[in-house]
Structure 1
Amino acid sequence: MNTCPHCHIKVGGDAAYCPLCQNRLPGPAGEAYFPATAPRIHRASLFYKIVAFVLSALVVVGGAFDFLLLETPHRHFSVLMAVWAVAILLVLRDIVRRRYNGPRQIFNLLLLVSALLVFTDWFNGYTGYSLDLVVPILCCIALGCNFVFAFLHSRFTANALVYLLMNIGIGLLPYLLLFFRIDSGKLDAHSIPWVVCLILSIITFLGIVIFRGRALKSEIEKRLHM
C-alpha cells in the first residue's frame, strides 16, 4: 500500500497517482482491489498502437520524399511532421491512461500546443501569428475552462480550485509581454489579444475569489499542509 508524500494518506490498489493531490505515488503498486476490465484496456492499447504505427509510417514516407526524392533546396517538412507526431502520441497516451483531471489536461494541452505552434511558426519563417494571435486565444480558452471547472463537482474536475492559481501564471505571460512592448514602444494592434487575455485572467481570478474564496483557501491550506 502506497503512502502519498504530500497528503500523507495510504492509497491501496495499483493507483499511480494520489486521488487527492494528483501527485505521483513513490512506492511500488500493490494489488488492485478490483480487476480492471481487460477489453477496455486492450481496445485502448490497440488504438494507441494503431495510431502510433500510422503516424510512424507517415513520418517515414515523408522523410523518404524529403531527403531522398526532393532535390531542390527546401525546408525539411518531415522534421515538422515528426515533432507533431510525437506531440500527438504524448497527448493520446495521457488520454488513454486517464491520468489527469480536466484542469490539468487543459493546462498541459495549452503548454504543448502553444510550443508546437511557435515552433511551426519559426520553422516556416517566423511571421508572429503564433505569439500575437493564436497563443493568446488559447490562453483565453484555458482561462475560461478553468473558471467553469471551479464550479463543477465531478471526478473529472477534482481539485479544480488549485489549478485556478494557474490563472495567475497564465496572466503573467501577457503582462510580461506587454511590459516589454510598452517599454520598447512596440505596443500596437498586435498586442490587443494579449490585453484581452490579461483582462480575462484578472476577471476570472477575482470571480473565483469572490464566489469560491473559502473553498479556494481551504484547498490551498490542504496542499501546503498549513
Structure 2
Amino acid sequence: MKNCPYCKIEVGGNLKKCPLCQSKLNGEAEAPYFPKQTTLQLQSFFYKVQLFIIWAIVIASLGVDFLFGVKLWPALAHIHWSLIVAMWLIVFEFGIMRLFKKGISSSRIMTLFVFIVLGMLGVTAYYIGQLWVIAEWVAPIVIMGTLIANFVLAMLDKNGNSMVYLLTNLVVGILPYIVFYFAERDCPLVWIICLLVSVILFVGAIIFKGREVVGEIQRRLNV
C-alpha cells in the first residue's frame, strides 16, 4: 500500500499523488479500486475530434470568406456564406447534439429537433431572400410529418406517455394558425391542412388511447 510522507496516511489503489496534499506517494501500488473506463474515454476522444473538426471548419470558412473574399455562389455574392455555415455547425454542436440524451422522450427529441432545424432554415432562407418558401411550404409539410410520427409513437408507446404526444400534436398543429390569426394575415392552405391533420390525429389518439391518457392524468395529478 502506498503512503504519503507528509500527511502520514496510507492510500490504497494505484494513485500516484496524495489526495490531500497532492505530493508524490511512496510504496508499492495495489490493484486499482475501480475499473478503467475505456468506453467513456473512447467516446470522449471521438467527441473532442468532431468538436475540433467543427471549429476548424467554422474558423476556416470565416477566414476564407472575410479575409480572402472567396464567394461560393456567384448569384449570392452579396452575402457572407461563412456566417450560414458557422450558424449551422454551432447550432448542431450545442443544440441538436444535446437533445440525444438518455431519459428524454422520443416525442420531445423529435419535436425540438424539427423546430431547431426549421428555425435555422428560416434564418438561412431570410438571408438569401427565400423565406416564403420555408414559411408557406417546407415548414407545414415538415410539421405534418412530425404530427404523423407523434401519432404513431403514441400508438406504440408502452410507458404511459400518451398525454405528452397528444399535447405536442395539438400545440404544434394549432400554434402556427394562432400566429397567422393575430398577425392578421390569411393562413395559407397548407397550414390549414396541417391544422386539420393535427385535430384529426388528436381525436384519433383520444379514441385509441383515451384510457391510458385518463390513467396518466390521474397518476400525474395524484387523483
State TM-score, norm by structure 1.
0.71
Q: Is the 8 A contact 1:103 1:149 kept in 2?
A: yes
Matched-pair identity in %: 30
C-alpha distance in structure 2 between counterparts of 1:205 and 1:164, whole Å: 6
Q: Is the 8 A contact 1:146 1:160 kept in 2?
A: no
Match of 1:91 in 2: 96
Q: Is the 8 A contact 2:143 2:172 kept in 1?
A: yes
Match of 2:86 in 1: 82
Q: Is the 8 A contact 1:162 1:216 kept in 2?
A: no
C-alpha distance in structure 2 between counterparts of 1:147 and 1:36, whole Å: 43
List alignment gaps of at least 5 residues for structure 1: 1-34
Q: Does 1:146 align with 2:150?
A: yes
Paired residue for 1:198, among 192, 195, 200? 195
Q: How many residues of Structure 1 are paired with residues of Structure 2 in the alignment?
A: 184
C-alpha distance in structure 2 between counterparts of 1:121 and 1:37, whole Å: 48
Structure 1 stretch displaced more, 114-123 or 157-166: 157-166
SS in 1 for 2:129: coil
Q: Does 1:67 align with 2:66?
A: yes
C-alpha distance in structure 1 between counterparts of 2:42 and 2:162, whole Å: 29
SS in 1 for 2:156: coil
Q: Deviations over 1:73-126 (max 9, x none)?
A: 73122111111112211222332x434121111111122111111111111124
Q: Is the 8 A contact 2:122 2:131 kept in 1?
A: no
Cα offset, 1:180, TM superposition: 5.6
CA shift in 2, pair 1:179/1:121, >3 Å: same
Q: Does 1:114 align with 2:114?
A: no
Larger relative contact order, structure 1 or 2 (CA cutoff 8 Å, min sep 6) = 1
C-alpha distance in structure 1 between counterparts of 2:103 and 2:41, whole Å: 17
Paired residue for 1:174, among 173, 176, 188? 176
Q: Deviations over 1:12-48 (max 9, x none)?
A: xxxxxxxxxxxxxxxxxxxxxxx99934433433332
Paired residue for 1:164, among 145, 163, 166? 166
CA shift in 2, pair 1:160/1:47, >3 Å: farther
State TM-score, norm by structure 2.
0.72
Cα RMSD, aligned residues only:
2.7
CA shift in 2, pair 1:71/1:201, >3 Å: closer
SS in 2 for 1:82: helix
Q: Rg larger in 1 or in 2?
A: 2
Match of 1:19 in 2: none
Match of 1:52 in 2: 51
Match of 2:140 in 1: 136
List alignment gaps of at least 5 residues for structure 2: 1-33, 72-76
C-alpha distance in structure 1 between counterparts of 2:45 and 2:125, whole Å: 33
C-alpha distance in structure 2 between counterparts of 1:126 and 1:67, whole Å: 24
C-alpha distance in structure 2 between counterparts of 1:212 and 1:132, whole Å: 32
Cα offset, 1:178, TM superposition: 5.1
CA shift in 2, pair 1:165/1:49, >3 Å: same
Q: Deviations over 1:130-176 (max 9, x none)?
A: 1111111121111111101112145xx76243232111111112322
SS in 2 for 1:98: coil
